[in-house]
Chains A and B, each alone.
Chain A
Amino acid sequence: MSTAARPGDPPAERIYHRIAEFVTFLRESGISVGIGAEVDLAGALETIDVLDREEFRSAARITLGKSPEELRRLDAAFDAFWSGGVVRPGIPSPGHDSSAPRMRSTRTKTRPEPRLNADEVIPPSGVTAFGVYSATAPASGHVLAPLGEAELRALRRGARRFRLVTSTLPGRRLGRARRGSLDLYATLRHNLRRGGEWLDLIRRRPLRGRTQFLILWDVSGSMREHDARCFALVHALERVSRSSRVFAFSTTIEEVTEEVRRHGYRRALGAVGARLTPAEGGTQIGPCLREFSEHEGAALRDHTVVVIVSDGWDLAESGVVAEQLRRIGHRVDSVIWVSPYARRPGFEPRTGALVAALPHLDALLGPEDFESRFPLRPLVGKIRREEPPLPLAMT
């Protein structure tokens, strides 16, 4: 059964059809919209002037968007869809369907919007990357190769061990313990069930604070050959701490947490790859770090571990890297740099960004540190004793 709006449908039916098509378009564009949000938007239409474009846009933002990043992408998708810029087979555009409700625009257009063909906006993969389209760039995203099962399992084990050794700060949450301070209320509650006699004492002490990983992953051209292993590590680290966030950077930085979090490893490869720009450009680590701390400053807290996965090749001034890492380092628990070369024989940090970053790092690790059975605790122990963050020989 076709769900497309038909000219004979009542106006309310037609607009609901269009909403369904818009939501489908958003999903194809990589914006995750649930049924509940779609129903909310339909409900909102009953309370707003649906013919007022900006009012309708606001309602769509409020009901469908769930983060600032999604709001930006939703705005682009809104313009593309409701301006008739997208012509998709089977989905008539309001511009083409004279019977469909038209919206008043409250914006003054300074120039006519170019009409795009569906094939230009929606690549065959069905994923649209708004804001990264360029006439000269390849249409497909960053292709990520999968890693072998054995290496994948080893990295996951390493990520779990890494979380355990970085969660060292006591938090404010209290957990039951044999020794610790007396929890009077818990003792009362417990003993009430035993007729009110004080038979057992309940003690609690602070649990370890939950580590939040902020993972900054270099996806520039120089990291291409390490993509498979680095992405597997990034995915594994994201999985071990629910509040972790992932940012991909090259010359710009963008958050890809949703793409990593929503899928298992295999599907995440495609979802993240489609989101990223092709990996042919250079790297600007310093400016990206600056943008990161500028926009995500609130996430830099005392139980945050910043993990930078990069080879350190940088086109920008290395002084910016040093300055930004110094500032970030003051605000977080630790800054760990993972270089794909760190465990190679004879490795010495020579890339500008890495040399500049060294004094501000807590440890410099390689992916091999996560894969091997060598315990990570001594490496992180070195961090706590503030010894030089140089790669340590494995024994």
Chain B
Amino acid sequence: MAVFLSARLGKPLLVEGEPGCGKTELAKALAVATGTELIRLQCFEGLDARSALYDWDYPKQMLTIRIHEKTETPSAVEKEIFSERFLLRRPLLRALDGDATHRPVLLIDEVDRSDEEFEGLLLEVLSDFQVTIPELGTIKALRIPIVIITSNRTRELSDALKRRCLYAFVGYPDLDKETEILRARIPQLDARLAREIAGFVQRIRGETDLVRRPGVAETLDWAAALLALNRKSIDRELVRDTLGFLVKDAQDLELVRARHPEDLPDSA
């Protein structure tokens, strides 16, 4: 319903949740389902307008200056080099600058990794769906893109950004849902093995002392590994050998190895 409302109301959807729960996958699936382009902006510390919004093609501008400096007036050269021909469209601008027939899906991934300044930059884009380029003027979206913003909650996002978004929290799936996901994503996986895998992962997630709980992405990795090993069920030895696919922290690995193998059958 969150995606539906986001699309209908024309508002960005902020999706928060534990890492590996399918937040990014939601945007990818949406793009596939709607048959539109997925434009992805991966956030990181230090991300700025040049990487997210637009930049000028400076080497090309320099060459153009050299070519025309003898024949054109300085103002004509300046007008030329700050035209759309020299504009490098980054993900945010590409999402706004499409034609009226397409409504792309814009994924702003892991926004909590970016700085507060970048959030400020997003405000104009997300509230008015327009970008102001001093040399060219304001570019307004002909058709508002479907915007999915994901966050792992490593820091609190600003109120201003939250206010502009609808909100959804994605938690870990239950046993049935996770089994269903495994069957859907890895159709070759035996139904019984899928349920065994999901059950084991659910038990590991139940551990309160884990630093990083395995997400759905880890479950899928592990299932794919077991499939590659041509295994039909899980046992103690197999878990010991392949646990690194599921648990990706040294302390957690020790903890799970110490506790869980006892719960497993010795062999299939």
Contact = CB atoms under 8 A, between A and B. Distances in A.
Interface string B30-71: 000000000000001110001000011011011001100100
Contacts of B66: 196
A128 to B, nearest CB: 21
Contacts of A245: 155-156
A20 to B, nearest CB: 18
B61 A192 contact: yes
Contacts of A294: 208-210
Contacts of A65: 167, 169
A173 interface: yes
B100 to A, nearest CB: 22
B69 A196 contact: yes
B1 A48 contact: yes
Nearest to B55: A185
Contacts of B169: 65, 68, 71
A297 B252 CA distance: 13
B228 interface: no
User: DSSP class of A's interface residues: helix, strand, loop or mixed?
Assistant: helix
B5 A44 contact: yes
A33 to B, nearest CB: 10
Given A62-B1, A62-B2, A192 B168 contact: no
Contacts of A104: none
A395 interface: no
A298 B116 contact: no
B208 to A, nearest CB: 6
Q: How large is the interface on A (under 10, 10 to 19, 20 to 34, 35 or more residues)?
A: 35 or more
A327 B9 contact: no
Interface stretch (A34-42, A139-147, A268-276): A34-42
B212 interface: yes
Interface stretch (B11-19, B142-150, B183-191, B195-203): B11-19
B152 interface: yes
B211 A297 contact: yes
A231 to B, nearest CB: 19
Interface in A313-352: 323, 327, 330-331
Contacts of A156: none
A66 B116 contact: no
B163 interface: yes
B163 A188 contact: no
A245 to B, nearest CB: 6
B110 to A, nearest CB: 10
Interface string B195-229: 00000000000001111110000000000000000
Given A47-B5, A327-B251, A66 B167 contact: yes
Contacts of A301: 154
A189 interface: yes
A243 interface: yes
A184 to B, nearest CB: 8
A34 B116 contact: no
B81 interface: yes
A257 interface: yes
A192 B62 contact: yes
A172 B46 contact: yes
Contacts, number: 116
B8 interface: yes
Contacts of B213: 297
Nearest to A328: B211
A196 B65 contact: yes
A171 B168 CA distance: 30
Interface in B130-178: 152-156, 158-159, 162-164, 166-169
B211 A40 contact: no
B5 A59 contact: yes
A330 B116 CA distance: 26
Contacts of A373: none
A296 B167 CA distance: 19
Given A43-B9, A173-B45, A196-B69, A243 B50 contact: no
B248 to A, nearest CB: 12
Given A188-B58, A298-B18, A44 B152 contact: no
B74 interface: yes
Contacts of A37: 163
Contact of B156 (A40, A171, A243): A243
B36 to A, nearest CB: 20
B180 interface: no
Contact of A188 (B14, B62, B158): B62
B74 A195 contact: yes
B64 to A, nearest CB: 9
Contacts of A251: none
Contacts of B211: 293, 297, 327, 331
A47 B62 contact: no
B80 interface: no
A209 B113 CA distance: 12
Contacts of A154: none
Given A62-B166, A62-B167, A290-B209, A196 B152 contact: no
Given A242-B116, A257-B156, A294-B208, 11 more contacts: A40-B9, A58-B1, A61-B167, A65-B169, A171-B46, A196-B66, A245-B156, A294-B209, A298-B152, A327-B251, A331-B211
Leading 5 A-B pairs by shortest Cβ distance: A188-B58, A196-B65, A172-B46, A243-B155, A173-B46
12 contacts: A48-B1, A67-B167, A68-B16, A189-B56, A192-B81, A210-B115, A245-B156, A293-B211, A297-B212, A297-B213, A298-B152, A331-B211
